[in-house]
């Protein structure tokens, strides 16, 4: 039995396998085929944070695959009414897969340690593997592959950036990141990634124009994520030169796409003209959460696509 707690848990071939299953199931979905791979299977969603895309995409994909899902919020007593160990042992005896969207990465690790069914990380402070898989699927679809494609992150070196960096390193894509000083990826994370993936192409800079030169995709996120609201005004000042606008898009190749994990704060990290431009694939990227997660579920539950 496998879990998906962090994208770094997967090998390059496993990521490619998930993306291939996702692409196959998406192709069938587009043709109106919804294969009931998991009839009678049940998925539990344990969410400590607000969600639109993660919740809807997981619930929809399990329904498309013939199974069912249940949302367990604070009323279930997760982590409060009883220990995570007791909670998880009982829950995993009743369902087939558990998705956890937690404030702390250690919470997902704790659930996985005590679960008797696969556990999927639906977002933590350190990792967002399902988002990264959808991102890679989106770039793969647009450019026909990932190897050698430069994906540029402009903004905070947060959990989404970390997962994307891992995904790029393991699929042969180049990862470039432009952050203000003090918001870089953690040095120990980059050093470990370089050790795990010696051929990884990783560029770090404080200059967004340098980072987008020659890139296939420009990706950004909000400057203050959930839980960082108290830092928002300071972050607005620190990230003021990191807005993705028409001028920055103009410094990239004309066929470069724009990506954002959403929700976006229009007028801050990205302008309306970029969000609504033909280069923006943010809606397609969000929709690919559905298909990437079908790939994850099919891979974890051992059913062929």
64 marked among binding-site residues? no
Task: Write out the DSSP string of 79-129.
Answer: TTTS-HHHHHHHHHTT-SEEEEE-SSHHHHHHHHHH-SS-EEEEE-SS--H
Catalytic residue numbers, as ranges:
101, 128, 131, 221, 261, 289
Give the residue among 104, 42, 41 at the shortest CA–CA distance from 78. Answer: 104
Sign of the Cα pseudo-torsion (52, 58, 62, 67, in order)? negative
Burial zone of 228 (CB within 10 Å; 0-12 exposed, 13-18 middle, 19+ buried): middle
130 marked among binding-site residues? yes
Q: What does the block give as tokens for 77? A: 């007593």
69 marked among binding-site residues? no
Question: How many other C-beta atoms lie within 10 A of the C-beta of residue 121?
Answer: 30
126 marked among binding-site residues? no
131 marked among binding-site residues? yes
19 marked among binding-site residues? no
Burial 56-91 (b: 16+ CB within 10 A, else e): ebbbebbebbebebeebeeeeebbeeeebeebbeeb
117 marked among binding-site residues? no
159 marked among binding-site residues? yes
Binding site members for L-ornithine: 159, 221, 225-226
Binding site members for carbamoyl phosphate: 101, 128-131, 261-262, 289
């Amino acid at each position: 039995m496998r879990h998906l707690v962090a994208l770094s848990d997967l090998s390059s071939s496993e990521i490619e396998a998930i993306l291939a299953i996702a692409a196959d199931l998406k192709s069938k979905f587009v043709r109106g085929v919804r294969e009931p791979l998991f009839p009678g299977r049940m998925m539990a969603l344990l969410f400590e944070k607000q969600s639109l895309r993660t919740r809807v995409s997981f619930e929809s994909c399990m329904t498309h695959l013939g199974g069912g899902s249940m949302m367990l919020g604070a009323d279930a007593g997760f982590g409060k009414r009883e220990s995570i160990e007791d909670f998880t042992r009982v829950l995993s005896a009743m369902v087939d897969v558990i998705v956890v969207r937690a404030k702390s990465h250690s919470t997902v690790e704790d659930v996985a340690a005590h679960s008797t069914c696969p556990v999927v990380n639906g977002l933590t402070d350190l990792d967002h593997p399902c988002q990264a898989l959808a991102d890679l699927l989106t770039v793969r679809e647009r450019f026909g592959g990932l190897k050698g494609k430069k994906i540029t992150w402009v903004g905070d070196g947060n959990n989404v950036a970390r997962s994307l960096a891992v995904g790029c390193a393991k699929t042969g894509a180049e990862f470039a990141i432009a952050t203000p000083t003090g918001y870089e990826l953690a040095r120990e994370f980059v050093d470990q990634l370089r050790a795990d993936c010696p051929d990884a192409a990783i560029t770090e800079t404080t200059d967004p124009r340098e980072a987008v030169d020659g890139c296939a995709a420009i990706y950004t996120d909000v400057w203050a994520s959930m839980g960082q609201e108290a830092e928002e005004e300071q972050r607005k000042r620190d990230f003021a030169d990191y807005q993705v606008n028409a001028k920055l898009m103009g410094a990239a190749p004309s066929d470069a796409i724009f990506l954002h994990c959403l929700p976006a704060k229009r007028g801050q990290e990205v302008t309306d003209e970029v969000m609504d431009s033909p280069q923006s694939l943010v809606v397609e990227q969000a929709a690919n959460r559905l298909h990437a997660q079908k790939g994850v579920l099919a891979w974890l539950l051992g059913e062929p696509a």
